[in-house]
Amino acid sequence: MSRLTDSNVLLAHEIIRRYPRSKSALIPLLHLSQEQNGYVTNDAMRHIAELLDITPAEVIGTATFYEMFKFEPVGTYVINVCQTLSCALMGADELMHHAEDVLGVKAGSTTADGMFTLEPAECQAACTEAPCLQVNYRHQYRVTTAEFDELVDGLRSGRLADEIPPHGTLGRNRQNLPADRTVGAVPPEDVTEAPDWIPVAGDAS
């Protein structure tokens, strides 16, 4: 069940073709499986290993390095509250304590209804809009405690469903490479000459 679906396998092959070496597609495929299941399942990792012709150990080896990949179910909405300097200076601690009170869970855990996972996070690149948080990696700026309550209400009631897709969906769109305009990836060992637009005698550098 948690292997990639047929349509995602087609997409996976399309993604693999973008890279000169197939293993480069590993992180994008892990994202794809997380989009499908909400987290990265063992079956999905085995399936990705088959698709890339590498071992499952190599897949889990890479996957566990990266914080965004979850290996057990998380809430539909993962709320990351930034804790680094600029946000800390502007009240990140209070915001985190408030979030724990409102959701009734400690940072790092998921609510009983499976709606929310609350996590402390490191710098989210919105330092001038502190304190900030992300819901499924979508920023919310200068969040007051009242606004946090409003946000949670909006997510619970489904009012923000269009704006914030469920956990795992990175972008609501993805890059499409048009077949008639794509150069295509070539393994590096198959290229020996300078590209067409570089004058033959000289060297661009």
Partner 1 sequence: MTAQGSYAWTPGYFYDWESTEIFTGRFPYEDSYTLDRYLETGGYEGLKRALEIGPEAMSGEVKDSTLLGRGGAGFPAGVKWGFTPQGVWPRYLVVNGDESEPGTYKDRLLMERDPHQLIEGCLIACYAAGLSQCFLYVRGEMALAHERIAGALDEAYAAGYVGTDILGTDFSVDIILHWGAGAYVVGEETALIESLEGERGMPRLKPPYFPAAIGLYGQPTIVNNVETLANLPYIAANGSAAYTAIGTETSPGTRMIAVSGHVKRPGVYEIVNGSTTFRDLIYGDDFAQGIRDDNDLKAFVPGGGSAPWFLPDQLDIPFEGKEASAAGSMLGSGAVMVMDSTTDIPEAALTLVRFYAHESCGKCVPCREGGTWLLRIVERICSGHGTTADLDQILEVGQSICPGDMPHASSERLGLEAVPFPYKMTTICFVGPSAYAPIHSALTLFRDEFEAKVSPSPKRVRIPVAVA
Strand partners, 119: 80
120: helix, strand or coil: strand
Cα 126 from Cα 139, distance rounded (Å): 8
Q: In angstroms, what is the minimal distance from the CB of 203 to partner 1? A: 5
Based on CB atoms, which residue is closest to partner 1, 73 or 91?
Answer: 91
- In whole angstroms, the minimum distance from the beta carbon of 87 to partner 1 comes to 8
We find the least distance from the C-beta atom of residue 103 to partner 1, in angstroms, to be: 17
C-beta of 104 vs 171, nearer to partner 1? 171
Q: Which CB, 105 or 170, lies closer to partner 1?
A: 170
Measured CA angle at 137 (ends 134, 142), to 5 deg: 25
Output 112 or 192, the one with its CB closest to partner 1. Answer: 192
CB of 115 to partner 1, least distance (A): 19
Which 3 state secondary structure label does DSSP give 203? coil
First-residue to last-residue Cα distance in the chain: 52
